Amino acid sequence: MSSNQIVLIKRVFIHSTILLILLSSCSSFGYKEELVEAYYNLGNAYSDLGMLDDSAAVFTRALQIDPSFPSAAYNLGIVHIQSGSYKQGIAVLTDLLKKNPENILVMKILAWGYFKEGDIHKAIETYESILKIDSYNSDVLNNITILMIHDSLYEEVYPYLVKLESIGDAGSNTLYNLGIAERELGISSGAVWFEAAYEKDKTVKEFLTALIDALKTERRYSRVIEYYDNFLEMDPNPEFLFDKAFILLTAIEDYNLGIPALEEAMKGGFSDSDRIDELRFYPDLLDVDRILSVFISYPLPSPGTRDQETETKSGPEEVLLEDPKTLD
């Protein structure tokens, strides 16, 4: 069934439900439960079609008839937040939570509401409250680590990241964040975790750059070259070529591989004069003349002569908390 057919069916359903509500409100045979259910179903249909204001109005009407209808309150909270009415959504969910303080489903949506409102601290607090009830809730662990990493709370996030990894529910971003946390806390270079993240998803350049930097810190230069080659398959950027050449010529002292890499970088338009000077004046180079001959053969372009700077693709897009769905 096509998306257009689904939309058409939902619109027919909406019109039919509105007619049912009108008949029920005018009829002595209309039952309160049936009327509330009709409003509830109509609210969900509006929500599915993205008609959030209409959905909120209908859910509100359902609650006016039956204030004890938790599913309508839950969905109203979601719809308010989705439409940008964060305070209203948070108020509805907070009130709902008072009636059932350990309702994890409501707490998760409330945390999402705080996040959407921009109150990261409150969102984290709410997720921590959930983890006191269900300490191995993987969805909550994932979300709280995202927010804590966003706020650079490395000491606080580290136990949650370790727990996620220990229960076998660590995705590539979690593994990457474990590396970041260990690096920032001085536990390790993070290389083990960056490599694990890269092995899970070799399309994300940020995983690879972090791994390369960590391997440099550990002076594991042969592995650095191996991963630079992987990087260059993804993006033959002259900046990366120059970095590869720099390590080959300075740390590994392999001129047979280093000089061609340097030539390729310069031919590709590498023009960072500071990095070039860093190589030119690097102490104890084995063959300065061969390196200088490359720079003479490929002089730096004049400012403005290059058509377009080669840009590297940024790392993974910041992972945002996913929007929840209303209850059926």
| Rounded CA separation 107/239 (Å) | 47
Q: Which residue has the higher pLDDT, 3 or 105?
A: 105
Same domain, 175 and 203: yes
Mean pLDDT to the nearest integer, 87-93: 96
| Across 194-211, average pLDDT | 93
Domain span including residue 240: 227-302
pLDDT band at 230 (very low <50, low <70, confident <90, very high): confident
Looking at residue 309, what is its pLDDT? 40
pLDDT at 305: 39
pLDDT of residue 41: 86
> Token pair for residue 149?
């990493």
- 328 pLDDT more than 70: no
Instruction: Among 218, 244, 275, identify where a domain stops.
Output: 218
272 and 234 co-located in one domain: yes
Give the Cα separation of 182 and 200 in Å (integer): 19
238 versus 29: which is more confidently predicted?
Answer: 238
Torsion angle defined by CA atoms of residues 8, 14, 19 and 22, in that order, rounded to the nearest 10 degrees: -160
Confidence (pLDDT) at 320: 54
Q: What is the mean pLDDT of the chain?
A: 85
Whether pLDDT at 140 is above 70: yes
- Tell me what pLDDT residue 317 has: 40
- Mind listing the pLDDT tens digit for each residue in 34-67? 788 888 888 888 898 889 998 999 899 889 989 9
pLDDT of residue 5: 44
Instruction: Indicate whether 196 belongs to any domain.
Output: yes
- Regarding whether 190 and 163 lie in a shared domain, the answer is yes
Query: For the chain, where are the alpha helices, taking DSSP H only?
Result: 3-26, 32-48, 52-65, 70-82, 86-99, 104-117, 120-133, 138-150, 154-166, 172-185, 191-200, 205-217, 221-234, 238-247, 255-267, 273-280, 288-297
The pLDDT score that the predictor gives to residue 36 is 82
DSSP calls for 36-63: HHHHHHHHHHHHHTT-HHHHHHHHHHHH
Q: Does residue 193 sit within a domain?
A: yes
Q: Which two tokens stand for residue 282?
A: 């690097």
Verify that 214 and 233 share a domain, yes or no: no
- Predicted local distance difference test score (pLDDT) of residue 10: 52
Q: What is the pLDDT of residue 313?
A: 39
Domain match, 232 and 298 both:
yes
Domain boundary among the residues 179, 199, 218 is at: 218
**pTM reported for the whole predicted model:** 0.75
Q: Could you tell me the CA-to-CA distances from 23 to 10, 14, 31, 72 in Å, in that order?
A: 20, 14, 11, 22
**Same domain flag for 204 and 239:** no
Clarify whether residues 235 and 298 are in a common domain: yes
Is 266 within the bounds of a domain? yes
Average pLDDT, integer, range 79-93: 96
Same domain, 250 and 291: yes
**262 and 285 co-located in one domain:** yes
Among the candidates 171, 197, 218, a domain finishes at 218
pLDDT band at 308 (very low <50, low <70, confident <90, very high): very low
- Look at residue 117 and tell me if it is in a domain: no
Q: Which CATH number is 202's domain given? A: 1.25.40
Check whether residue 241 and residue 262 sit in a common domain.
yes
**pLDDT tens-place string over residues 154-192:** 999 999 999 999 998 889 999 999 999 999 999 999 999
In a domain, 176, yes or no: yes
Predicted local distance difference test score (pLDDT) of residue 32: 73
Domain total in the chain: 2
H helices of 218-301, in order, are 221-234, 238-247, 255-267, 273-280, 288-297
More confident residue, 30 or 75: 75
| Range 110-119 average pLDDT | 95
pLDDT at 152 over 60: yes
Residue 285 lies in a domain: yes
Do residue 201 and residue 263 come from a single domain?
no
255-281 confidence digits (pLDDT tens): 999 999 999 999 999 999 999 999 999
pLDDT bracket for residue 321 (50, 70, 90): low
Tell me, yes or no, whether 53 lies in a domain: no
Specify whether 268 is located in the same domain as 209. no
Residue 314 lies in a domain: no
